[in-house]
Structure 1
Amino acid sequence: MSWAEVYPWRSPQAGAPVIRQVYDQVRGAIMSGALKPGGRLPSSRDFAARLGVARASVVAAYEQLLAEGYAAARGGSGTYVSGDLSGVAELRPAVVEPRSAPPSIPARVRDLDELALPAPQSEAQLFATGRTLLDARAFDAWSRSTRRALRTLGPVHFGYSDPRGDVGLRAAIADYLRAARGVTCSADQVIVTAGAQHAVDIAVRVLLKPGDQVWMEDPGYLATRHALVSAGAEVAYVPVDRSGMVVAEGIAAAPAARVAYVTASHQYPLGVTLSMGRRLELLAWAREADAWIIEDDYASEFRYDGPPLASLQGLDGGERVIYVGTLNKALFPGLRLGYVVVPTALAGAFANARQLMDRQPPTLTQAIVLDFMREGQFAGHIRRRRVAYKAQRDVLVAELSARLGDVMEVDVPDGGMHLIAYLKGGRSDLEVEARAEAAGVSVRAISRLYRQVAPRSGLMLGFTGFPARAMAGGVARLEKALA
């Protein structure tokens, strides 16, 4: 049987590169066994004539086969199927029968699939949470900082750098945190991350081993729960009341826990603040139990009634508290920069874990943020945003109370970036979430954030990412969805 008869050779079709089609056919003949190991491939001239293509296309296809080890050249003799393709016989059934049984899926993959987060909210839909607004002054200042950073590109921007982040930016963050949040730290304790969730994930990797117990607020932040569960931690869900995490309940449930995760300044999602008595109680437990506290201060910049609250970390002196913050909420989510402040004894371990996960933060982005902060633009932006976000909150509260006060109870937060509207009459927040989504409004049902505490039916509405003038239209849509 001639080479032309061993395989159903086809002339290339329009739509795909000719070289690739020739390569695929020859490779397919080899993998199916039609062309045997050690067998001679047709000459490029004869093959090109058979397929009706330019000889150069066949030569290029052969060169690719040679480079990948499917073929071997013998000087003065031609091109042959590689003789060391002994494993082709074992692979051949999978090639011939592409629907053969797939490999077994590790149990961990199934576990992670079960931890899937809800689909991201649409940027365009009103009341999506975690969104921000920049005014014209901030845009102009950011543009100037970007231009200056681009003009001063140096060797550090074109290679590997400190996994902890730029030392200038870390110093600027430390200065800001000491002044604004009462955090006790130096630049050596600051590690730049991709955001608060990245910082929490590093902390989980450093502080916990499978089977360790962890306190977490109930209700609480889904992504953090997923990080803890995927790390093999045993989560003890601690109820939350108007004074924050009920520390006594945590001690009763898991007195020997290794870590407590808490959103002390603005509890997620309920928005309450951990009282001073509870803070002291939590710190006392951590010292007695030789445990660590992860303080997620994700939206601390935005407090509308009174000055920002001092951090739990500053109250402790930085011995047992890992302080987590983010610039993504203060500036914009697409920035992807946050930070974690760690006790000096843990700084090396956190830096090494960060390097293993992501090598280093982006140098150019850090340079832009550093310039923005050094020019005083960051502090000015935060002051203006507090005023604007408070006005947006107040308009949303007024619209909800006027239009939907008979079916929901609005809990007005004194800080943060969202509010909670509790549904009256036992109505399902999951049902309302779906109806609102169909009406073009993004509201989050809070019932899915509860684990062991009896869930309340309520909606989480973000107000920071949308101008005040848009609130009335959004509430009108929500009213229609609730009708």
Structure 2
Amino acid sequence: MPAREHQLSIEIDRNEAVPIYLQISERFKAAIAAGHLRPGDRVPALRGLAMQLNTARGTVEMAYNILVDEGYLQMRGAAGTYVSPSLPPSVTLAAARKKRERALSAPRDSQSSRNAVPDNDATLLRPGLPALDAFPRKVWSRLVAYRARSGDIASLTYPDPAGYRPLRERIATYLGLSRGVDCEPEQVFVTNGYRAALELVLRSLAKPDDSAWYEEPGYLLARNFLVEAGLRLVPVPIDQEGLDVAQGETLEPNARFAFVTPAHQSPLGVTLSLPRRIMLLDWATRAGSWIVEDDYDSEFRYAGRPLPALKSLDRDDRVIYCGTFSKVMFPGLRLSYIVAPGRAIARFEQITKGMNAGPPHLLQAAVADFIAQGHFARHLKRMRTLYSERRTLLAQALMHVLRDTIRVDLPPGGMHLVMLFNAPVDDFAVAARAREAGLAVLALSAWYLGGRTKRSLRGLVLGFANVADSAAATRLARLLQNALKG
């Protein structure tokens, strides 16, 4: 029986502070919860809805990507986009009504109602989230308070758009010592998070309709931004040696960019081999292209020292190095940085002046002090030990509870692991049910730019940095077991 084509009327409010793409996704969720959209219904095409709403196609695409990632929609290529047929009962109208009735009849202070959802469900198994319980908050508070009390006039003016000079110096020194990146402070630009770093790169070097290699599967959030920015992304497969450079050259030999995560591929965790690194650099030199190296969590490696960055091998100045404090300190900082090519410093300086006034001086100064006083190095050392223990706890709990239904390969580094299913499983549906239980997990197949195919791996991407102990690991594994069973 053919799917029902649903003519959905969506209204957006351009005066709202909420971005339009989020308004669209919320309208879809509300329509599904109310029963106006049912599992299996076909939803409007991207172009058609964009015309209906008089908005950009990329805006609608971002909303659809969110709904796909959360398990509400399924994209089926040329066949269209559909409401997921495996939606959990909790999003249906009947279940929602029963939930409200239970909430009204239950005592407000009931212990059982408080325990129905795990505490702090925004952090449970969230990939990329550092151990918030282990960050030295007292030290950090002292450093911030000292800077706030200092009365420095410079802290009250507009910050340098390129970043606080002492922090840029500290970053350049740190990269030279720990990552093998030889750079000057003038090449370091501090930004408001990784998205702002990508925006700076694109505004400085990209041209209309540029193409770019993108890892398949690859980092979800960056992918969405790059698509919205107008880049034509070319999915290049990942294997046991990382990015398949030969395939990239076959698919798009003259791509303007290659976006890569060489130290710890996101999400599969493999390391780009030395031969592939050399091939990638040689291609960039021949094609006159740029390599954007996202070195997002390379500090955390559990076998030997952290590997040198791809940038350390760059002899033709084709690599743009990106790092972040979100993973090594905490994401609330919203501080990232890039190392610009020497030949493009003037261009990057020009663009930073037009983008914004730079990140807050207070936080940059506190981070510079955190590094200068040795707290940063000590924190990294402690976290390597802690994360090594926590990844083992979670992996062991998953294998003990879920047994033959899954496969877990311990990653050599990073802050997340991938749990693969041994049988055909709808990982979108499993992830949706897991989120209902308070787990911030992501479906692995959502990370594929080319869409879900028979070759797409099925599994879940799980963060282990906040798994406190073996009891917590076992409890989380059992919640995942329930989500898998449906």
Q: TM-score, normalised by structure 2?
A: 0.75
CA distance in 2, matches of 1:123, 1:178: 38
Q: Which residue of 1 aligns with 2:476?
A: 474
CA distance in 1, matches of 2:61, 2:352: 26
Q: CA deviation at 1:203?
A: 0.9
Poorly superposed stretches of 4+, deviation over 3 Å: 103-107, 116-125, 134-137
Q: Which residue of 1 aligns with 2:460?
A: 459
CA distance in 2, matches of 1:405, 1:421: 12
Corresponding letter in the other structure for 2:473: M
> Whose relative contact order is higher, 1 or 2, with alpha carbons under 8 Å and at least 6 apart?
2
Is the Cα contact below 8 Å between 1:184 and 1:318 reproduced in 2?
Answer: no
Q: 1:173 to 1:125 in 2, by over 3 A?
A: closer
Matched, 1:348 2:337: no
Match of 2:190 among 179, 189, 192: 192
Matched, 1:320 2:318: yes
Corresponding letter in the other structure for 1:477: L
Q: CA deviation at 1:425?
A: 1.2
Q: Which residue of 2 aligns with 1:152?
A: 150
Q: 1:214 to 1:136 in 2, by over 3 A?
A: closer
The 5 A counterparts of 1:330-479 are 330-452=328-450, 454-469=455-470, 470-479=472-481
CA distance in 2, matches of 1:371, 1:246: 41
Q: Which residue of 1 aligns with 2:108?
A: none
Return 5+ residue gaps in structure 1 as ranges. 1-102
CA distance in 1, matches of 2:259, 2:176: 22
CA distance in 1, matches of 2:131, 2:53: 43
Percent identical among aligned pairs is: 42
Q: CA deviation at 1:123?
A: 5.0
Q: Which residue of 2 aligns with 1:115?
A: 62
CA distance in 1, matches of 2:184, 2:462: 36
CA distance in 2, matches of 1:168, 1:451: 39
Measured on the aligned residues, the alpha-carbon RMSD in Å equals: 2.0
Q: CA deviation at 1:399?
A: 0.4
CA distance in 2, matches of 1:364, 1:125: 27
SS, match of residue 265 in structure 1: coil
The 5 A counterparts of 1:52-131 are 105-108=53-56, 110-116=57-63, 118=66, 124-131=122-129
Q: CA deviation at 1:135?
A: 5.5
Is the Cα contact below 8 Å between 2:135 and 2:329 reproduced in 1?
Answer: no
Return 5+ residue gaps in structure 2 as ranges. 1-50, 71-119
SS, match of residue 420 in structure 2: strand
Q: What do residues 6-61 of structure 1 show as CA deviations (whole Å, max 9, x unaligned)?
A: xxxxxxxxxxxxxxxxxxxxxxxxxxxxxxxxxxxxxxxxxxxxxxxxxxxxxxxx
Q: Which residue of 2 aligns with 1:242?
A: 240
Is the Cα contact below 8 Å between 1:221 and 1:268 reproduced in 2?
Answer: yes
SS, match of residue 216 in structure 1: strand
State the number of aligned residues.
380
Q: Which residue of 2 aligns with 1:53?
A: none
SS, match of residue 407 in structure 2: strand
Is the Cα contact below 8 Å between 1:195 and 1:325 reproduced in 2?
Answer: no
Is the Cα contact below 8 Å between 1:266 and 1:273 reproduced in 2?
Answer: yes
Corresponding letter in the other structure for 1:395: L
SS, match of residue 404 in structure 2: coil
Is the Cα contact below 8 Å between 1:318 and 1:342 reproduced in 2?
Answer: no
Is the Cα contact below 8 Å between 2:290 and 2:319 reproduced in 1?
Answer: yes
Larger deviation, residues 458-467 vs 393-402: 458-467
Corresponding letter in the other structure for 1:474: L
CA distance in 1, matches of 2:204, 2:360: 22
Q: 1:134 to 1:288 in 2, by over 3 A?
A: same
Q: CA deviation at 1:151?
A: 2.3
Larger deviation, residues 113-122 vs 175-184: 113-122
Is the Cα contact below 8 Å between 1:129 and 1:417 reproduced in 2?
Answer: yes
Q: CA deviation at 1:420?
A: 0.3
Is the Cα contact below 8 Å between 2:262 and 2:295 reproduced in 1?
Answer: yes
Is the Cα contact below 8 Å between 2:58 and 2:227 reproduced in 1?
Answer: no
CA distance in 1, matches of 2:270, 2:456: 16
Q: Which residue of 1 aligns with 2:175?
A: 177
CA distance in 2, matches of 1:405, 1:198: 42
The structure having more radius of gyration, on CA atoms, is 1
Q: CA deviation at 1:439?
A: 2.0
Q: 1:152 to 1:318 in 2, by over 3 A?
A: farther
Larger deviation, residues 229-238 vs 350-359: 350-359
Q: TM-score, normalised by structure 1?
A: 0.75
CA distance in 1, matches of 2:132, 2:229: 36
